[in-house]
Chains A and B, each alone.
Chain A
């Protein structure tokens, strides 16, 4: 805690010292681009969510839209449905994608034969377009064409309310598993060889070494992967849209916040778009993600810092 990576600012207050222009110059591009393309649209969207049509013109309505979203039945029901589905989508990722990704990384770091080939193969789906992923899985899982019928799988998984969402989550896991795997792999590789050696000398087997040496040392990465998964899942839209369409069927069983937002903001078929309620949904999405990230920062990250320093 008593490290001082930078000189403290006692010097800046001293009169006569020149203003350090180069700081501004170096900061300017990032600040400008972020302000114009991220911060301004963000606040503009939040402002939009505080307005609605009043008679013919746009008018400020305060938190009225949020009130409608949470209380009016035709808004609250699909909203909670989407949020609940989104949570399930996230939990499946946390339970499948990240542990399996860690397992794969642990296997790859143990220098099994052909590790680089596996690494490439497992990462490949990540760089494919979601449209292709959705199309391929739609065909594979379609009993009409019977790709999986020989091995006894002939259920319309994407067409049943009970299975549509888990199936989509697993497709998404299959596609994205390369990312946690790579992050874990990079972290595992960074562990100093001496620590591993010491544990071998002490007579620890691979299992003990993993849980006592490797896992504690990659905890920061576990946290990063969790928060990346959280943000990615609660912003997810593309896979569901590509496989199930904007109505996220059947009977909205696969509707998540992203698709709910899309329908509300842009409309669909005869449904006219509603930019005000759409911005409101976006506002809630922002809030959900913000809360999640803050929880991460104040619990996980802070504890890690306590350990590290």
Chain B
């Protein structure tokens, strides 16, 4: 036993000695994406280490449901890795406020990101950014090309065209026109309201208006979005009130429905569920004139642990995350998750590439309730939007009732909205 310990000690000393000779810095990444372990180990990290042979990077994920708690405990104990994968909005903002994350304003490559891309990982005033944005998901519509061909339909561009296409599919009687249910509620808000809404409330102008108090959910574009959503009602499938998200996915993947209000992450799911499905995509339709705006929702980023001992190497890695090389690798390894840097990259999945191209054609924004407005426990703006959107589709709320419900509950606690009841 004693002998073994001595040998271990000697071996350890030798190991650290040889490491010292090679001058290799070791970085550890904390993440909740344990699904992506293989992608990081086999694709992304080797590419980085080839370029920077002096830095060794280890991807050390924990379970998604445990990540927040595990990370908090590790940061408290000072044992967290050098690089921290950042959840969007308040969770990471709390970490920055608790001085666990460094400001990254002066990081090389940070100017590759737009204001919208950085917003999820910036302070409320937008002056300090503390994580490098990695990927976003984009909303739009997926459709079954075979059904469109059979019924002689073309991709709709305006609301009128969209409703006409739905009416034709309904008239044919063979397929569910619009594949979405209201049982799980979130699709109604996320794939419905927040999908077609940004064009109506003028994207960032409207979203920031809500935060400053200049816009309200029961006025202008935000109200119109509820009205536009209500028009979907006749085209949802039989018993859509009991249809949950997996039901919708199955219906569409099996070719029983024509149009699916989607998030880009669904692309990968459908490719896996039914590789033979002829997948097409069109962007959120417009309402007469005016530019299109898409929901380009930030989802994942990476920050620098303030307690890291290898900040130089960590910053090198973060700059690389902002590069076109990383974007190209990441986008193709995870189709449907789009790197946020304004660099050139292409995606091999044609439908995913289509989603990506919308960024060039349209303005971008993200879900109206995610920044600041959902900080209150009760009433909670995001939960209210789920409930109101689902009820509009269920026909238990008129659009005006839904808008007033959401607005009055927001105004009940959020100071800048107090006057807008």
Given A161-B396, A270-B382, A144 and B238 contact (CB-CB distance below 8 Å): yes
Segment 137-193 of B: residues with Cβ below 8 Å from A = 181-186
Q: Which of B389-404 contact A (CB under 8 A)?
A: 390-391, 394, 396
The answer, yes or no, to whether A154 is at the interface (CB within 8 Å) is yes
Asked if B378 contacts A251 (CB within 8 A), the reply is: no
B119 CB → nearest A CB, Å: 15
What is the minimal beta-carbon distance from A255 to any residue of chain B, in angstroms?
Answer: 11
Q: Which of B241, B247, B370, B396 lies in contact with A270, CB distance below 8 A?
A: B370
For chain B, residues 219 to 234, give those with C-beta under 8 angstroms from any C-beta of chain A: none
The range of chain B's interface size is 35 or more
Find the residue from A142, A245, A271, A277 having the highest chain B CB count within 10 A.
A271
B247 surroundings in chain A (CB, below 8 A): 142, 144-145
Query: A143 contacts which chain B residues (CB < 8 A)?
Result: 238-239, 242
Establish whether residues A249 and B383, one from each chain, have CB atoms under 8 Å apart when the complex forms. no
Cα of A252 to Cα of B182 in the assembled complex, Å = 13
- Asked whether A159 lies within 8 Å of B182 as measured between CB atoms, the reply is yes
B379 on the interface (CB 8 Å rule)? yes
- Nearest residue (CB) in A for B238 is A143
Instruction: Decide: A271 near B374, CB < 8 A? Known: A142-B239, A143-B238.
Output: yes
A155 at the interface (CB under 8 A from B): yes
Q: Is the CB of A247 within 8 A of B387?
A: yes
Q: A159 to B238, Cβ gap below 8 A? A: no
Give Cα A268–Cα B382 distance, bound, in whole angstroms.
10
Residues of B within 8 A of A74 (CB): 378-379, 409, 412
Please state if A249 and B185 are interface contacts (CB–CB under 8 Å).
yes
Nearest Cβ on chain B to A67's Cβ, whole angstroms: 15
List, in ascending order, chain A residues with CB within 8 A of B239's CB: 142-144, 154-156, 159
Give the interface centre of B241, B370, B374 by most chain A CB atoms within 10 Å: B241
By beta carbon, the residue of chain A nearest B409 is A74
Distance in angstroms between the alpha carbons of A201 and B374 in the assembled complex: 74
Contact for A249 among B183, B369, B375, CB less than 8 A = B183
Indicate if the CB atoms of B390 and A267 lie closer than 8 Å. Answer: no
Q: Which residues from A are CB-within-8-Å of B383?
A: 247, 268-271
Residues of B within 8 A of A247 (CB): 185, 383, 386-387
Known contacts A154-B238, A159-B183, A250-B396; A271 and B378 CB within 8 A of each other: yes
Interface residue from A144, A251, A270 paired with B391 (Cβ < 8 Å)? A251
Q: How far is the CA of A75 from the CA of B412 in the complex (A)?
A: 12
Residues of chain A lying within 8 A (CB to CB) of residue B390: 249-251
Q: Is B242's CB under 8 angstroms from A272's CB? A: no
**Least Cβ–Cβ distance between B87 and chain A, in angstroms:** 11
Residues of B within 8 A of A172 (CB): none
Produce 1/0 per residue, A133-172, CB < 8 A to B.
0000010011111000000001111111100000000000
Interface of B is mostly: loop
Query: CB-CB < 8 A to B387: which residues of A?
Result: 247, 249, 251-252
Please tell me if A264 contacts chain B, counting CB pairs below 8 Å. yes
Chain B residues, Cβ within 8 Å of A138: 242, 244
Known: A247-B185, A250-B182. A158 touches B386 (CB 8 A): no
Complex interface residues of chain A between 223 and 266 (CB less than 8 A to chain B): 244-245, 247, 249-252, 264
Q: Is B240 an interface residue (CB 8 A)?
A: yes
Count chain A residues whose beta carbon lies closer than 8 angstroms to a beta carbon of B: 34
Interface residues of B in 358-395 (CB under 8 A from A): 369-370, 374-383, 386-387, 390-391, 394
Interface residues in B315-362 by Cβ distance below 8 A to A read none
The verdict on B197 contacting chain A, using a C-beta distance below 8 Å, is: no
Asked if residues B375 and A272 are in contact (CB atoms below 8 Å), the reply is yes
Which one of B185, B238, B377 contacts A267 once the chains associate, using CB atoms below 8 Å?
B377
The answer to whether B237 has its CB under 8 Å from any CB of chain A is yes
A74-B412, A250-B391 known; A156 vs B241 contact (CB < 8 Å): yes
A274-B185 CB under 8 A given contacts A250-B391, A269-B382: no
In the complex, whether B71 has a CB less than 8 A from a CB of chain A is no
> Which residue of B is nearest A159, CB measured?
B241
Cβ contacts under 8 Å, A244 to chain B:
183
Distance in angstroms from B230 CB to nearest chain A CB is 16
Say if the beta carbon of A273 comes within 8 Å of chain B: yes
Minimum C-beta distance from A270 to chain B (A): 4
Q: Are B374 and A75 in contact (CB under 8 A)?
A: no
Cα–Cα, bound, A277→B378 (Å): 10
Residue of B nearest to A253 (CB): B396
Most-contacted residue by chain A among B181, B242, B374, B377 (CB, 10 A): B242
The answer to whether B242 touches A144 (Cβ under 8 A) is yes
| CB-contacts of A86-117 with B (<8 A) | none
A245 to B187 CA separation, bound complex (whole angstroms) = 13
Closest 10 CB pairs of A and B: A159-B241, A143-B239, A156-B242, A159-B242, A270-B374, A271-B380, A156-B241, A156-B239, A270-B382, A274-B377
A and B contact pairs by CB, cutoff 8 A, 25 listed: A74-B378, A75-B378, A138-B242, A141-B242, A142-B247, A144-B240, A145-B247, A156-B183, A156-B240, A156-B242, A159-B181, A160-B241, A161-B396, A244-B183, A245-B185, A249-B387, A250-B183, A268-B383, A270-B89, A270-B374, A270-B381, A270-B382, A270-B383, A271-B374, A271-B377
